[in-house]
Structure 1
Amino acid sequence: MAPLNPASQEAIDRLRRYTPPPTAYGQVPLSRRAAVLILLYADLQGDLRVVITIRAKTLSSCKADTLSETAFQTARREACEEIGLPDINQPLPPPFSVEHLCELPANLAKTELVVRPCVALLHSFDPVTGANADPETELIPRLDALHQFFVHSTNHAIKPHSPNNKAQNAAVDKLTHQEETGQVQHYRVFGMTARIIVDAARVAFAREPEFEHNSHFGDEEMINNLRRLGRLSQVRRPGDELTREMMERAAKLS
């Protein structure tokens, strides 16, 4: 693959440096823990993309197996089961490898699952052997139910031009041209999936979206407040689902 362009390299460095605030993930019962993998990779121009399953609605099924399982282990295991990406204990076909970058603040699903987003970078160059590959032709097509989306600063979620970043501005202009000429296919990403990706982009590119969005990352405060109200217990009942009334009650505890 092409090396990361300057804007993408800066984004990856920010994700590597990111330290999330204290999380309630380890305090909730096993039955409430879930994790999801945000897998980034570089295209031939060095722009970052994120791999998303077309079955993103199954995000609520990415549950932890044991109390000792880390969020990254859960996310990698579920990615293996759902799309065929080798899990954390399995090798990828050379020259591919996965680097774990950071975890983001936990999000709260309507089904009262606490979901920990885990951000990772798919490398496709082996510095030892010199082997190089294009993820979009040699790995991703082998995986099931996938589409690729821009998570670069060229995405609508991020303010476009930056006065001091020529490489980034050129990437914005290129994507704009591709969109205008029909070379880019768009898919609608919504709900928790969209929110998690936007949060990852906010960290990576140190920018805020132009559209309305939550000012905070994740739902750590809401999770703690719900626990104070006796929610998120070990036993999950079929009817467990957050209502507006319950959310408003929890918000008043802040």
Structure 2
Amino acid sequence: MSKLEGKVAVVTGGGSGIGRAISTLFAQEGAWVHILDLNPQGAEEVQQEIEDLGGKCSVHTCNVSDQEEVLAVVASIGRIDVLVNNAGIAHVGDVEHCSPADFDKVFQVNVKGAYNALFAVIPVMKANGGGAILNLASIAAWVGITDRFAYSMSKGAIFAMSLSVARDYMQDNIRCNSISPARVHTPFVDGFIAKNYPGKETEMFEKLSQSQPIGRMAQPAEIAKLALFLCSDDAGFITGNDYPIDGGFIKLNN
């Protein structure tokens, strides 16, 4: 039997990159996937891909930083068995090069966006007898990354919120874990390099690839496979943990 057969899964930011890989894999494994994304075009492309393969997918245009929008979408879905908080943005700069607007933007999407989804979905899971939650943290929650002040702040918050939710809702049969990827080769990364290192794209891609001791970036599908395990019944005894998926970045970078 497929690992998520008959489950209903919500994936924020499921229209591209890691979220896209998670959405398509979850659908292949039997879940009815609901994508919450600010970009309907990307999400609808994922929906078409899933439906062409015989899966089920619904798209909800939603700004995760707006709690009322998130509450309305969740109410329209009904039962939810799995939540993946994947939506996020990045920012380059140390504390001196992080304006209040920069800081607030990262906080609103990465931290408040995850909070809004948790706030909306957990009561639904409680009413339905439980569920599995996975939050996307980062190696930036574990180690200092140069010029990632606001981003690191947000992923540290995700790490801590995951522990809190896992502790508070065990009696409700709700599991909550997080994963901490190192660099993953997504369109987001390509756009990030093009924007911040114009004319040095090839050089920077290689440099960022080699920063993982394993010598390359992860592929989105590799992150999705770990997400699938943690959200499936196979991981029924796992809660309150963070899983680095980092090519050795945290412990072998010496």
Greater Rg by CA: 1
TM-score (norm 2): 0.30
